[in-house]
Amino acid sequence: MKIHEYQGKQLFAKAGVATPKGIVARTPDEAAAAFTQLGGPIAVVKSQIHAGGRGKGRFKEHPDQPGVKVVKSAEETRDHAKRMLGNTLVTIQTGPEGKQVNTIYVEGGLNIARELYLAVIVDREAGSPVVIMSSEGGVEIEEVAKHSPEKILKEPFHAGYGLQPYQARRLAYQLGLTGPAVASAQSFLPKFCKFFVENDCSMAEVNPLVITAEGELVALDAKVTFDDNAMFRHKDLAELRDLSEEDESEVRAGNTGLSYVKLDGNIGCLVNGAGLAMSTMDLIKLHGGEPANFLDVGGGANVAQVTEAFSIILADKNVKAVLVNIFGGIMKCDTIVTALLSAYDTVGFTVPLVVRLEGTNVEIARKMLADSGRKIIAATDLTDAAQKVVATLKA
Amino acid sequence: MSILVDKNTRVICQGITGKTGLFHSQQCRAYGTPFFGGVTPGKGGTEVDGFPVFDSVDEAVRKTGANCSLIFVPPGGCGDAILEAAAAGITLIVAITEGVPVLDMVRTADVLASKFPKSRLIGPNCPGIITPGIAKIGIMPGYIHKPGPVGLVSKSGTLTYEAAWQLGNVGLGQSTAIGIGGDPIIGTNFIDALTLFEADPQTEAMLMIGEIGGNAEIKAAEFIKASIKKPVAAFIAGQTAPPGKRMGHAGAIISGGSGTAEEKIAALEAAGVVVSRSPADMGKALVEAIARKK
């Protein structure tokens, strides 16, 4: 689960991680008042969306307006806020459709001496959380990894004991920090790592992490993602979720216990199991089609879930055909067909439906399909299924 | 022969009084797995469908001689259940539970490695392990797995069934099939499974099924190149998956441009592995891998 920058910074502040002073605004007047309250002489107006690249991003409605702007007066703050709020910001991470800005964050200026990069993630290979830092602040870390990988520092730490002060100092010296900045890093970094662990983050990124002229480390950005699997024990964090930032059909699927990801193609698919669902997309592509989605109905698919799955798939106007691929294990094929037929009738299919079944009770299930009287195309195996569903688009 | 599971395996289930735990314990017993009961704290001394229930794994081990535990407890208690099993001396721990917080697994794996090196964990978020004809410890449909010479290791559940079924179509059964799970932090990984299969006399070839996310398949490719003599075929799911989106499994995500199917396929091919591009050709790929080594 992702949260907004301002929410991340509020959580940082609670954890003792230094951030600039900032105020949330939802109207141009609130933004202007925020500038006055912060006291100037400069401030930064920042669009709040769940995507990076905001500084270079531009608004659809105002092609000259950047998503982040330095301002020098309350009036100027109000003007920029007017052009941001309610409008659509397009960045390299939002895709061409962009994202609507509903909230802005007005932040006080800092006397910046240096910009660094900081992130904590869980390193699968090391089996532990790891601090990633680089002297190249404000630059995409992927770019740094590509062009100067030697500038990326990694410091794994123990999830139980946290980042030790000597580890923070090691990072500081490697980054060439001196004087008060080393002391600041020794305080800042362990607190940041503690924040990561205590809140079950899957990623916490600060880009840039600035060192002020006074030698203090301050988080100028906050990109925080939580582990969805751990949200059951963080009810307070779960409340920070902004549904308007998420794909409507993906939210709907999640509420029904389905795993769904929308894609750009025109062949919808309904599959049991994540691995098989991914493979089904691959199979469609191999045979010249384009998958419209990833959809895993899980191991215990019932009538309600299959019905919801079909209606989510068909709500996508691009979908011109649907492929169902089920390998019945403990969940028997005939049980799945019963659910399929019921859902088929409820949803009202208008596009071709190809069904491939294999596994437990497949013979009974195939006969049920054949005798059902519905216009369902039966496939004998995976390849046959892919060929048939792609062929329906050409017919 | 087989790996990890044989006639001496004695199984209990942690979470046996839950609906799913009981159902799959019954299925395993019906398959012929030596199954001796289960554990649910607070329900010790009772019985469910002929299975004795114990309060702790320690008690279950003392009273049944169990050496393997199948875990179905809810996600929040899974790490604790794994460590309880290890502390009681269980040597093979199979965690089926899906949705375990990643940092729980970080802590659990750390304690397992440092305090209980003799306990092997499979999973979590996996279908389990089966040695066809001998014992099934998991949720896979037993009948699709026939005894034979192929060592099967996979991150995915239904894709494993698909593979086992395709292997059956080309007349190949399995020595053992292991689902290692699709989470970022897991117990047994590809390299562990490949090492065991390489040493197992019954296993003549291996089929490895991976997916996008992380670099376990790339590490496995390096390992295969250096240390595996037996033929290996592979399939990588997610060639069409978009970056930055989690594809069902917690670990199946392309992040920062790495963990793609393409780079994994290239690494495996460079290691001499026959990689099937289509999920329909996994069985065929293995036949080709065997033919190439002859």
Kindly list the residues from chain A whose CB atom is less than 8 angstroms away from the CB atom of residue B157: 273-275, 299, 329
Q: From the candidates B249, B253, B261, B276, give the one annotated as an active-site residue.
A: B249
Burial class for B233, CB neighbours closer than 10 Å (0-12, 13-18, 19+): buried
pLDDT > 70? residue A100: yes
Averaged pLDDT for residues B2-14: 92
Kindly list the residues from chain B whose CB atom is less than 8 angstroms away from the CB atom of residue A284: 240
pLDDT in tens, B12-67: 999 999 999 999 999 999 999 999 999 999 999 999 999 999 999 999 999 999 99
pLDDT > 80? residue A355: yes
Name the pLDDT band for B256 (thresholds 50, 70, 90).
confident
CB B140 to CB A277 under 8 A? Answer: no
CB B109 to CB A127 under 8 A? Answer: yes
Q: Is B145 a catalytic residue?
A: no
pLDDT > 80? residue B2: yes
| Per-residue DSSP letter, B190 | H
CB B18 within 8 A of CB B218: no
Percent helix, strand, coil in chain A, to 5, is 40, 25, 35
Q: What is the mean pLDDT of chain B?
A: 95
Averaged pLDDT for residues B119-146: 95
Q: Which of residues 218-277 of B touch A (CB under 8 A)?
A: 219, 235, 237-242, 245-252, 256-257, 261, 277
Phi, psi of B210 (to 5 degrees): -115, -170
Position A232 scores a pLDDT of 95
DSSP string, B109-170: HHHHHHH-TT-EEE-SSS-EEEETTTEEEESS-GGG--EEEEEEEES-SHHHHHHHHHHHHT
**How is residue B266 written in tokens?**
């290239």
The ipTM of this complex is 0.91
**How is residue B122 written in tokens?**
């499979």
DSSP string, B168-186: HHTT--EEEEEE--SSSS-
CB A279 to CB B257 under 8 A? Answer: no
Residues sharing a CB contact under 8 Å with residue B23, sequence separation 6 or more, in sequence order: none
> What's chain B's Rg over C-alpha atoms?
18
Residue with the larger pLDDT of the pair A340 and B28: B28
How far apart, in whole angstroms, are the C-alpha atoms of residue B256 and residue A336? 38
Averaged pLDDT for residues B149-177: 95
Q: Which of residues 155-214 of B touch A (CB under 8 A)?
A: 155-162, 165, 182, 184-185, 209, 211-212, 214
Averaged pLDDT for residues A328-352: 87
Position A229 scores a pLDDT of 94
Position A385 scores a pLDDT of 96
Name the pLDDT band for B7 (thresholds 50, 70, 90).
confident
How far apart, in whole angstroms, are the C-alpha atoms of residue B201 and residue B197? 8
Q: From the candidates A205, A260, A308, A344, give the one annotated as an active-site residue.
A: A205
CB B235 to CB A279 under 8 A? Answer: yes
Q: Which of B102, B239, B256 sits opposite A282 (nearest CB)?
A: B239
CB A285 to CB B239 under 8 A? Answer: yes
How far apart, in whole angstroms, are the C-alpha atoms of residue B252 and residue B47? 39
CA nearest A22: which of A181, A205, A219?
A219
CB B106 to CB A330 under 8 A? Answer: no
pLDDT > 70? residue A281: yes
Residue in chain A lying closest to B110 (CA): A127
In the chain, the amino acid numbered B282 is M
Averaged pLDDT for residues A322-337: 88
Q: Which of B107, B144, B211 sits opposite A159 (nearest CB)?
A: B107
Q: Which of A122, A261, A327 sits opposite B161 (nearest CB)?
A: A327
CB A376 within 8 A of CB A353: yes
pLDDT > 80? residue A301: no
Among the ranges given (A1-5, B217-221, B240-244, B271-275), the one the predictor scored with the smallest mean pLDDT: B240-244
Q: How far is A24 from chain B (nearest CA, A)?
A: 28
Q: Is A149 on the interface with B (CB under 8 A)?
A: no
Name the pLDDT band for A94 (thresholds 50, 70, 90).
confident
Q: Is B141 on the interface with A (CB under 8 A)?
A: yes
pLDDT > 90? residue A189: yes
**Other C-beta atoms lying within 10 Å of the C-beta of residue B161:** 29
Q: Is the pTM of this model over 0.95?
A: no
Position A60 scores a pLDDT of 96
pLDDT > 90? residue A161: yes
How far apart, in whole angstroms, are the C-alpha atoms of residue B153 and residue B147? 15
Residue with the larger pLDDT of the pair A62 and A328: A62
Position B1 scores a pLDDT of 65
pLDDT > 90? residue A147: no
Q: Which of B110, B140, B247 sits opposite A278 (nearest CB)?
A: B247
Residue B79 three-state SS? helix
In the chain, the amino acid numbered A192 is F
Q: Which of residues 49-88 of A touch B (CB under 8 A)?
A: none
pLDDT in tens, A173-183: 999 999 999 99
Q: What is the mean pLDDT of chain A?
A: 94
Residues sharing a CB contact under 8 Å with residue B25, sequence separation 6 or more, in sequence order: B13, B16, B35, B38, B51, B70
Q: From the candidates A6, A105, A107, A117, give the one annotated as an active-site residue.
A: A117
In the chain, the amino acid numbered A59 is F
pLDDT > 90? residue B250: no
